[in-house]
């Protein structure tokens, strides 16, 4: 009986531990700095900064906050998170050298999954770019029914990456306006919470 029970308990314990590790979201703190300055590590760090800002701009958002919008013309918190998710897909696709396929409709995940999927996209992109030696290989490609359009990596910086940073800041302002401000201990300069 012990020969069967011990391996079974060990397997269950390892499975639960693996699931727990998978459920931990990246960017509660900013990762350690790379040892070397390369084009890839700099871009990776930019994405890590975005991930940290997005993590805290969305941490503690409640169901009541998602539909808040400052005016009839402005995006709601939910719509802003959906937009950042779409941008994170573009960033991750560029990192993985995958075209953004506009010939198929992309399903927007449920709002409960937006945060997790966005952070995972950013972590994936950061990890890939950290190892990149030639950023020109990571262009942004859009595939549509009319054909394909390719843009150099430079557009990644001033396009999706900086746009997502912009909108992460909007989330911080929107939630403050909604009466649920983000944690005041967030220190974006140091990439951690203040004591």
Q: What is the pLDDT of residues 112-144, one digit of tens each?
A: 899 999 999 999 999 999 999 999 999 999 999
Does the pLDDT at position 19 exceed 50?
no
> 141 lies in a domain?
yes
**CB–CB of 118/78 below 8 Å?**
no
> 14 lies in a domain?
no
pLDDT band at 54 (very low <50, low <70, confident <90, very high): very high
The number of folded domains in the chain is: 1
pLDDT band at 111 (very low <50, low <70, confident <90, very high): confident
Which two structure tokens, joined as six digits, stand for 24?
């931990």
Q: Which residue has the tokens 């859009």?
A: 142
> Residue 134 is part of a domain; what is its CATH number?
1.20.120.450
The rounded distance, in Å, linking the Cα atoms of 146 and 156 is: 22
pLDDT at position 18? 43
> 16 lies in a domain?
no
Q: What is the pLDDT of residues 161-186, one digit of tens each?
A: 999 999 999 999 999 999 999 999 99
Residues 6+ away with beta carbon under 8 Å from 112: none
> 32 lies in a domain?
no
pLDDT band at 13 (very low <50, low <70, confident <90, very high): low
pLDDT at position 112? 84
What is the residue range of 157's domain?
37-193
Q: What is the pLDDT of residues 70-101, one digit of tens each?
A: 999 999 999 999 999 999 999 999 999 999 99
For 131-159, b/e burial (b = at least 16 CB within 10 A) is: ebeebeebbbbbbeeeeeeeeebeebeeb
pLDDT at position 171? 97
Does the pLDDT at position 20 exceed 50?
no
> 79 lies in a domain?
yes
Please give the C-alpha separations between residue 181 and each of 11, 79, 134, 169, 185, in angstroms, as whole numbers: 42, 18, 40, 12, 11
The rounded distance, in Å, linking the Cα atoms of 22 and 143 is: 32
> 1 lies in a domain?
no
**CB–CB of 24/103 below 8 Å?**
no
Mean pLDDT for the stretch of residues 62-68: 93
Backbone angles phi, psi at 194, to 5 degrees: -70, 155
**CB–CB of 153/30 below 8 Å?**
no
pLDDT band at 10 (very low <50, low <70, confident <90, very high): very low
Give me the torsion for CA of 69, 71, 72, 75, rounded to 10°: -40
> 17 lies in a domain?
no
Does the pLDDT at position 16 exceed 60?
no
pLDDT at position 2? 54
């Amino acid at each position: 009986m012990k020969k069967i029970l011990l391996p079974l308990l060990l397997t269950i314990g390892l499975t639960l531990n693996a699931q727990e590790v998978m459920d931990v979201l990246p960017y509660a703190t900013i990762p350690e700095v790379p040892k070397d300055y390369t084009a890839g590590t700099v871009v990776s760090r930019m994405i890590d900064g975005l991930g940290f800002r997005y993590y805290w701009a969305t941490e503690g958002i409640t169901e009541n906050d998602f539909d808040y919008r400052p005016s009839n013309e402005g995006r709601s918190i939910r719509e802003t998170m959906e937009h950042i998710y779409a941008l994170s897909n573009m960033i991750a696709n560029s990192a993985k050298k995958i075209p953004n396929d506009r010939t198929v409709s992309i399903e927007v995940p449920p709002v409960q999954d937006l945060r997790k999927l966005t952070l995972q996209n950013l972590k994936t992109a950061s990890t890939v770019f950290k190892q990149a030696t030639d950023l020109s290989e990571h262009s942004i490609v859009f595939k549509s029914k009319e054909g394909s359009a390719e843009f150099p990596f430079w557009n990644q910086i001033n396009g999706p990456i900086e746009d997502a940073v912009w909108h992460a800041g909007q989330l911080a302002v929107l939630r403050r306006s909604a009466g649920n401000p983000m944690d005041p201990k967030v220190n974006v300069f140091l990439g951690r919470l203040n004591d």
